[in-house]
Amino acid sequence: MSEKLAIKYRKSIMRILLMSTAFSGLTQRFYTELDDAGYVVSVELHHGDIPQLLEGVGLFKPDLIICPFLTQKIPAEIYDNYKCLVVHPGIVGDRGPSSLDWAIQKGVAEWGVTLLEAQEEMDMGDIWAKKTFPMRNTTKSSLFNREVTQAAVDCLWEVLTYFDAPDFKPTALDYNNLEVKGQLQATMKQKDRAIDWKKQKTDEILKHLHAADGSPGVLDEIYGQPVFLYNAHKEENLTGKAGEIIAIANHAICRATVDGAIWIGHLKPKLASGEKGIKLPATFILKDYLPPAKSSVSMLEGLLSKSINHIDIDYTQEGQQLPCQEVWYHTKNRIAYIYSPFHNGGMSTEQCQQLLSVYQHV
């Protein structure tokens, strides 16, 4: 905090413009950090309307432009006339729009964030700051919201400490430098994300699903219907014929792999019209294809059965019984802790009622 306060008093009148495709979580974090530190901050959304973008930049007259989240190219009229830095969710040398996707799917042990200068060729600008972090075995959205965001904020404050220092020079990207490990990576397509349920093992499939979670999902086929898969969790006990649905619980489906199974919580149909489908709990999308449940069974009965079973979760029982369980609790030293990691943070009426029920129980 002392570093931020020192910057605040030195640069309290500095004008910083955040240029972003959307007022994303990272953009909001940058705005809050800068505003709290006393900077004059504004946000300009870049949706491809260049005249409007140029007008907005011209009216604000920024001392520095920072781009936390962009899917549109920055016009040369901007980076030629203003210092413009771009947040890239990748290590030094990494280039392309699917950086984090590739890192997760390849299972790299360490990844990072670079803050680099905007120029004509994407992600080739001089490097102002860089940070790395160990990768967790989790989804893209979770990594972005935690490790990537914190690394980006650390880069932001590092840049602001020496932004006006006369002896500072950013580092040019040099692929001849042996310390530069990143490289240009193509935009990840659905063919790169494709899953072969009859050949790939559980952990490999999970990497594909984690790399696409949030957006765009992994395109697959269930009961002949093209759907995008989301919200996947490894199942430690159930197994069956690879590719088949072997259990249902909490509106999620459990699909067998060659060495185990995976719970898939949400699906989104691929519509023939080309329009975007709506992401919903898996059993909602498959309601016309799943066989009707003969009766609900206990978790133990579900483990022993070879057919598709609806497994009941006893929410009064302490702990998480299934990986797809979205509400559970545990107690420690007479204190109850309730967990509710709902997909994308959104709650349906049913989920709200379930959370209330667990709260009332404990």
Cβ partners under 8 Å of residue 338, min gap 6: 327, 328, 329, 355, 358, 359, 362
Query: Do the domains spanning 2-161 and 191-311 agree at the CATH topology level?
Result: no
Tell me the whole-structure pTM to 2 decimals: 0.89
Question: What is the per-residue pLDDT across 122-160, written as a single tens digit (0 to 9) for each?
Answer: 899 999 999 999 999 999 999 999 999 999 999 999 999
CATH for 2-161 is 3.40.50.170
Write out the chain's pLDDT in tens, 362 residues.
Answer: 445 554 554 555 799 999 999 999 999 999 999 999 999 999 999 999 999 999 999 999 999 999 999 999 999 999 999 999 999 999 999 999 999 999 999 999 999 999 999 999 989 999 999 999 999 999 999 999 999 999 999 999 999 998 988 899 999 999 999 999 999 999 999 999 999 999 999 999 999 999 999 899 999 999 999 999 999 999 999 999 999 999 999 999 999 999 999 999 999 999 988 888 999 999 999 999 987 765 554 444 444 445 788 999 999 999 999 999 999 999 999 999 999 999 988 899 999 999 999 999 99
Do strands 245-249 and 309-311 pair parallel, antiparallel, or not at all (unpaired)?
parallel
337: CB partners within 8 A, 6+ apart: 329, 330, 331
Tell me, rounded to whole angstroms, the distance of Cα 268 from its chain centroid.
Answer: 17
The full set of domain ranges for the chain reads 2-161, 191-311
Alpha carbons 129 and 118: distance in angstroms, whole number: 13
Domain 191-311: CATH superfamily, name plus number: Formyl transferase, C-terminal domain (3.10.25.10)
